Structure 1
Amino acid sequence: MLSILRTIIIIGLVYFSQTSFAQTPKGSVSGRLTMVDSEPMASKAISLLEINKNTLTDQDGKYTFKDLDTGHYTIRIQLLGIKEIKIPVYITLQNKNVIVDYQLTEENVQALQEVVVKRKNNRFVQKESVYVARLPLKNLENPQVYNAVPKELFQEQIAVDLGSISKNVPGAGIPMIANQGRVTFRSRGFETEPNARNGVAGAAFSVIDPVNLERIEAIKGPSATLFGKSVASSYGGVYNRVTKKPYNDFGAEVGYTGGSWNYNRVAVDVNTPINADRTALFRINAAGTIEKSFQDLGFTNSLALAPSFSYQITDKLSLLLDLEYGQAKGTSVVRFNPYTGSNKVQSIADMKFPYNKTFLSNDLAYQTQMFNIFAQMNYKISEDWISQTIVSRANSTINGYISALNGKSDSTLNAQVMVGTTSFIATDLQQNFVGDFHIGKFRNRMVIGLDYYNNSNYFDRYHTNTRTVNFINAPTDYRINKFIVDSLTAKSAYRKEKNSDDTYAAYISDVFNVTDQLVVMASLRVDRFQYHGVYNIVTGETTGGIGAGGIQKGPFGQTALSPKFGLVYEALKDKLSLFGNYMNGFNNISGVDINSNPFKPEYANQLEFGVKGDLFNHRLVGTVSYYDIQVDNVLRTNPEDSNYSIQDGTQLSKGLEAELTANPFDGMNIVAGYAYNESKYSNADPSVNGLRPALSGPKNMLNFWLSYRVPSGKYQGLGAGFGGNIGSSSYQTNTQTAKIIIPSYKMFDASIYYDQPKFRIGIKMDNLTSEKAWSVRLTPQNPARFLGNFTLKF
């Protein structure tokens, strides 16, 4: 009996102990990761070693590990350029919820390869970039000039297209809209398109919706050394689209914008973690827009989808995958090419060309489709090196009717319509190794990269010329419609062909600290370009050999070297730096001269020097620089035989640029820029020699935006902004015998808004005075336009 009772008691005690153990509450470890100045470090990998768990810090630098048993653990923090940080943790029954904060020290910051944006009260400062130098180099350490337009600024301005966003870039000018929605800006006297995406080629030959943009970076000067000579880079620089990335928290915004000429737009931004550890994150941005032209006819309807996925696979290995899908249907914007046979000086403002007419009907529409894929894998090889593997593929297709208006006399024109399909496919593969290491006592930051770029184009279209009409006294039946164009198309010139080219490149760039305040940059790119010729789909032949004028139409290869040097001296550490640079760009030139000597690549070489400042605790940030660009090896007609070219032409472009972002007192923000550019052909064909290139834009341009937002109190978040863009006259055509002048312009905008944690509401008036202005393609710009926006935040 006693033995049975003893057994029952033992079983009860075991059951009780197991029940008690099972009901023991679980513990947790949480904390916050911050910089030396207490700024949060978001999206950084934090690991719990003993149980192989990973997570990411959120926007406030916070992290959490839940459901932990009592015992010893080790927190590990991995940041490039810093020895891994290990922090022991002990969870007990008495201390189940342990808080482990970590703040970087000055010693950490000296070696840190992470760039952290410091905004504080200066809301529109976002200068630090990992893309400009392909290294996480601070603005004051970078010998190159660049401008950054953050989403905080274009949200306040209710800027709903890239052209409106570019108003904040010094020297960008009035954007040129191509017939399929492509946008092109001016930069230092040259055309530049926004065809870089997160630092690599991301061409889009169609409408690019800004719904997924974190900011725009306008990188100034020839930049082929790091960005290549592909569509991403021009002699004027690079426009880099930095996209929104997933973050470790739930957040959502839904907004509606409506305005003049039946403008309607709905935009959505949703972000969420998709696993318990918050290492897999998903974000999607989407927008649908319909709008009509201010002119008598014309419309655009578009849809954009941009999902993004990131996965911290381990604390050393991460994956980022982005997609961009866009489609649009619309009519071509007006593009007028005036008649220049009368050999005289004319202004578009005096030619009586109708500002509000399109001359074509709405049934002559085009359709575009864009599908871009971007994947990046980062792996931390050691405390000093990371591997970065990038795959980018961009696909754009245009189908339908694309038009231009060509002057036939001083009072007449006809429409030329391209009918058919055009496709562009661009593939970019990159492998980069990024390091931060010391040789002796000298710090080196280095990127070593391999780059493969393929471009493939397909054309299946007719070029149809319609009848000539008088644009000053237009007849009642002047408008061109689909029936007229289709009836003429079968008799038109037909182009059905495809072409492609490959570029193989290797580059290296080293930033060498001579002292803590003196930095030297040296970079070099070797680039092999291989053009495969034009394949005629109708005949089945690939065009080869040398054509008329020594122009090579078939396959050819060319090798180019592109160096870059820079010097920075921080006169006041982290406050004021003096810099200078030599930068290079190039373009491959095919063909031979009259003596059958192959042409060399065309080169642009820039010398620049200036000063950068970040003063008064980031309240005053700015850059002033002077640049001088010379383009050599330009082709011009051989004066001894007009059937051939010689390669001794030159083009000069020099000027002054200044930008300022200021926060003189709490709530007040100022963004301003000025660009002066002097360009001319210095050794060219007699028809243009010594003249300013026609498409170089205005010589003087000024932009500014003044914003005040109530910083505290009952009306906190209430604000207003006022800004403007001013440009001097420029040219659409500029030769010794004929000039088409684009008049100067002054365009002013204003906004009022109320921004709260749960919603944002704002109204905006663009071009308050309805100033008549034209792009370099003589596209009339919108008169006064009203926009209103309401956004809910979750």
Structure 2
Amino acid sequence: MTSIHHTRDERRSPVTTPAMLAVCIAVALFPNTLRAANEAQEENIVVEGTADNITDSQDQDYSVKTTTTGTKLLLVPRDIPQSVSVISQQRMADQELNTIGQVLDNTTGVSASRIDTSRTNFYSRGFFISNFAYEDMPTFLDNRWNFGDTAGDTAIYDKIEVVRGAAGLMSGTGNPSAYVNMVRKHADSKAFKGSASATYGSWDKQRYVLDLQAPLTESGDVRGRVITGYQDNDSWVERNHNRKKFIYGVVDADVTDSTTLSVGYDYQESEEDSPTWGGFPSMFSDGSKTHFRRGFNTAADWTYSNKDSTKIFANLTQRFDNGWEAKINTMHAEINFDSKLMYVDGYPDKATGLYDASLFQGAWGGWNRGERKQDAVDAFVRGGYDLLGRQHELMLGGSYSRQRNNYDNSFPVNSNYGLMDVGSIYDYNGKLADPTWSDFALYQRDVIRQKSLYAATRLSLADPLHLILGARYTEWSAKYNLERKPDEIRTSKFDDVTPYAGLIYDIDDTWSVYTSYTSIFQPSGQRDVNSNFIDPTTGKSYEAGVKGDWFNTRLTASLSVFRIEQDNVAVSTGTTIPGSGGQTAYKSVDGTVSKGIEFELNGALTDNWQLTFGGSRYIAEDEDGNAVNPGQPRTSLKLFTRYQLPMLPELTVGGGARWQNKTWQDIDNGPNGVKQITQDGYTVVDLFTRYQVTKNFAVQGNLNNVFDEEYYDYLGTYGVYGAPRNFSVSASYSF
């Protein structure tokens, strides 16, 4: 039998008992502190601003040795026949990437669409990214509602993995954009250690993070870890204020020499005052383009957006003498939002700044509350086997998830359907009276179930040639009501088999070429004019490329070409669903094609020099040759690097740049017809430096948007500006 090489990083995922677990872990850490302190003193080493002590130069690498993302088989990146980016803990620390959204914004081939101060959608290869997973436990996202998935704090994650293209073998629903997997930190130290950091930055940003871990038994077979943090900051947007706090606790136990159990708890909470709902008007009523100061805020002073999320998780790993292993992962998640918001609709007069109330232009309010509950379990086995004199690998598994979504709605009560007069947009300052609100009523409820069976094998056809074959059967069903009609219940049910095939040929010890194919099956959260779910998007995804690997995977490179063909793609009809309160109706279109090329170089050029450099170029069009999502850049380049000075090893310097080409969006400007708003290509440059004052104490400075580039982060009937120049200074201490 062929053994699979396991690392401690594989000991992931978790179940727990209630929220008290994290507190219990923290209490349990300290009785072991004195005993472990002597051991920790012997292990003191240089810290490079991460939560974990750095033992050698490889711990500072931007690359990772192995990953299971894409196939659930433990492989080096070179052996995965798809485009994969893994953002390491060190990279996140260097760039101060404190949210999942900030990580994606700096990931090759991914672009952002910041709808307002609260919501950011991400796209890859021209399509919306809806596949987010927590240690391969996927969540179904509906971009109509804001649960803050991309705002999650990265302090609790060891790395974030992004597979570009369709990943139906992993997620069941093969969205052809990307699959984003968050891998949590675990209690992997048998000695007491920890770190504390404090950050101050632009707009009075204050951030504090504490990370502690220790053995909970004398042998160290049971270990605990707690990570907690708090952040408070204003924004470049006037009157906009944010607060968040989080606590994460995990216990990792070596039950036997071959059995590992992990249980954990994750709670995050955020509050935002005066958030925008959309942005400022992008055009005047005469069709000309507006230009407001970057800090202009269209929100009223009484608006807010609050969210909280709780995740309880567990996994059990059993390793066998023949090299096989079995894993069971479970997760229960509850996420809530409470948002009292206001947006300004329409195009003001250029001379006066006034809206035409007779055309129902002005301010509209909405008070929405939502709850998303998810229960999921995933179980699989993997290992090696002999066939025809060669050694191969096999993975078999199944999963089940149930996601329940509930949304309640209230709206302003007056004689004009909730329309409020903001006066001249030039004089607007948020001083708008809080209206009288209707009683809350059920707006939408749905229950989404997904059942899957999957398998994959890696066949060694010859010493330089490997074939990965796999398939996933998915049954997807939904039960839901019509908007604001709780008694009109409908159901949808779809099933599909998603095949997967990838061929890898090793040219030599450094280079390999690959090709892969998978089908697309993506149920949509969008509905047609009759409020029925749009049929799932289907299609095919092809990819081919070349990959390089140097210095035992410390430096990797990839170059790929891809083609994506889709039918039943949901596009807006420009009309609303009757009785839905303004919900947009969608329709399906066939013949959508995205094709392009991507590259990435990532890792250690030398022991002192780390670099990530990637780029993407694609064209996405429907069957009539119209651009799909033209508000997203067709060409983008992203670079970030760090260099530790040999003559002064305590000092590290670095920086990076993000460039994208021109984007555009066609807008219906009423009597003036369709107008086009554009954003020229632009570059944002960032810098950072870190100085290791002592073995345990380091300071770091980050300067973002060095040249204060002004640009749109969103194009549409309203506009949203990107962040201007800003800085942060942080200090970290490890022990």
Correspondence for 2:326 among 371, 387, 398? 387
Asked if 1:467 corresponds to 2:420, the answer is yes
Q: Summarize the alignment of residues 165-564 of structure 1 with structure 2, pairs less than 5 Å apart.
A: 165-174=103-112, 176=114, 181-192=118-129, 195-201=132-138, 205-206=147-148, 207-229=151-173, 234-248=175-189, 249-331=191-273, 332-333=275-276, 335-336=278-279, 338=281, 350-409=289-348, 411=350, 412=355, 414-464=362-412, 465-469=418-422, 474-475=426-427, 479-481=430-432, 484-487=433-436, 489-490=437-438, 495-534=442-481, 541=487, 543-544=488-489, 554-564=490-500
TM-superposed CA distance for 1:311, in Å, is: 0.9
Equivalent pair of 1:256/1:265 in contact (CA under 8 Å):
yes
Equivalent pair of 1:215/1:241 in contact (CA under 8 Å):
yes
Q: What CA deviation, in whole Å up to 9, does each residue of 1:114-163 have, x standing for no partner? A: xxx99749721115212332111221211121101111112122233333
Amino acid paired to 2:93: Q
Equivalent pair of 1:753/1:761 in contact (CA under 8 Å):
yes
**Helix, strand or coil for the counterpart of 2:365?**
strand
Amino acid paired to 1:218: V
**Helix, strand or coil for the counterpart of 1:245?**
coil
TM-superposed CA distance for 1:224, in Å, is: 1.8
Q: What CA deviation, in whole Å up to 9, does each residue of 1:677-727 have, x standing for no partner? A: 211112xxxxxx42212366101111111321124x6x3231111211111
TM-superposed CA distance for 1:480, in Å, is: 4.9
Q: What CA deviation, in whole Å up to 9, does each residue of 1:176-230 have, x standing for no partner? A: 3666x4543221111225721112225792230111111111111011222122x
Equivalent pair of 2:534/2:586 in contact (CA under 8 Å):
no
Distance 1:750-1:478 versus aligned 2 partners, 3 A rule:
closer
Correspondence for 2:661 among 700, 704, 728? 728
Aligned equivalents of 1:616 and 1:270: distance in 2?
A: 32
Q: What CA deviation, in whole Å up to 9, does each residue of 1:18-72 have, x standing for no partner? A: xxxxxxxxxxxxxxxxx9xxx9965899xxxxxxxxxxxxxxxxxxxxxxxxxxx
Amino acid paired to 2:307: T
| TM value normalised by structure 2 | 0.81
Aligned equivalents of 1:670 and 1:569: distance in 2?
A: 26
TM-superposed CA distance for 1:668, in Å, is: 2.2
Q: Which residue of 2 aligns with 1:705?
A: 640
**Helix, strand or coil for the counterpart of 1:225?**
helix
Unaligned runs of 5+ in 2: 12-54, 142-146, 356-360, 413-417, 579-584
Distance 1:454-1:172 versus aligned 2 partners, 3 A rule:
same
Aligned equivalents of 2:9 and 2:113: distance in 1?
A: 35
TM-superposed CA distance for 1:669, in Å, is: 2.3
Q: Which residue of 2 aligns with 1:653?
A: 594
RMSD value, Cα: 3.4
Q: Which residue of 1 aligns with 2:691?
A: 754
TM-superposed CA distance for 1:169, in Å, is: 1.1
Q: Which residue of 2 aligns with 1:32?
A: none
Q: What CA deviation, in whole Å up to 9, does each residue of 1:640-670 have, x standing for no partner? A: xx99998662211111111112544442222
Aligned equivalents of 1:599 and 1:416: distance in 2?
A: 28
**Helix, strand or coil for the counterpart of 1:254?**
strand
Distance 1:365-1:600 versus aligned 2 partners, 3 A rule:
closer
Moved more, 253-262 or 656-665: 656-665
Amino acid paired to 1:385: W
TM-superposed CA distance for 1:586, in Å, is: 1.5
Distance 1:341-1:310 versus aligned 2 partners, 3 A rule:
same
**Helix, strand or coil for the counterpart of 2:590?**
strand
Amino acid paired to 2:109: G
Q: Which residue of 2 aligns with 1:55?
A: none
Q: Which residue of 1 aligns with 2:726?
A: 785
Correspondence for 1:586 among 521, 532, 536? 521
Aligned equivalents of 2:389 and 2:341: distance in 1?
A: 61
Aligned equivalents of 2:533 and 2:293: distance in 1?
A: 47
Equivalent pair of 2:664/2:678 in contact (CA under 8 Å):
yes
**Helix, strand or coil for the counterpart of 2:542?**
strand
Q: Provide the aligned length of Structure 1 versus Structure 2.
A: 647
TM-superposed CA distance for 1:329, in Å, is: 0.7
TM-superposed CA distance for 1:625, in Å, is: 0.4
Equivalent pair of 1:681/1:693 in contact (CA under 8 Å):
yes
Q: Which residue of 2 aligns with 1:28?
A: none
Equivalent pair of 2:444/2:482 in contact (CA under 8 Å):
yes
TM-superposed CA distance for 1:768, in Å, is: 0.7
Aligned equivalents of 2:243 and 2:528: distance in 1?
A: 48
Aligned equivalents of 1:222 and 1:319: distance in 2?
A: 31
Distance 1:765-1:600 versus aligned 2 partners, 3 A rule:
closer
Aligned equivalents of 1:167 and 1:589: distance in 2?
A: 24
Amino acid paired to 1:214: D
Correspondence for 2:566 among 631, 643, 664? 631
Q: What CA deviation, in whole Å up to 9, does each residue of 1:411-450 have, x standing for no partner? A: 5463433214111112221111112222232322221111
Aligned equivalents of 2:602 and 2:200: distance in 1?
A: 30
Aligned equivalents of 1:294 and 1:636: distance in 2?
A: 33
Equivalent pair of 1:170/1:659 in contact (CA under 8 Å):
yes
**Helix, strand or coil for the counterpart of 2:714?**
coil
Equivalent pair of 1:194/1:241 in contact (CA under 8 Å):
no
Distance 1:123-1:130 versus aligned 2 partners, 3 A rule:
same
Equivalent pair of 1:462/1:495 in contact (CA under 8 Å):
no
Amino acid paired to 1:479: G
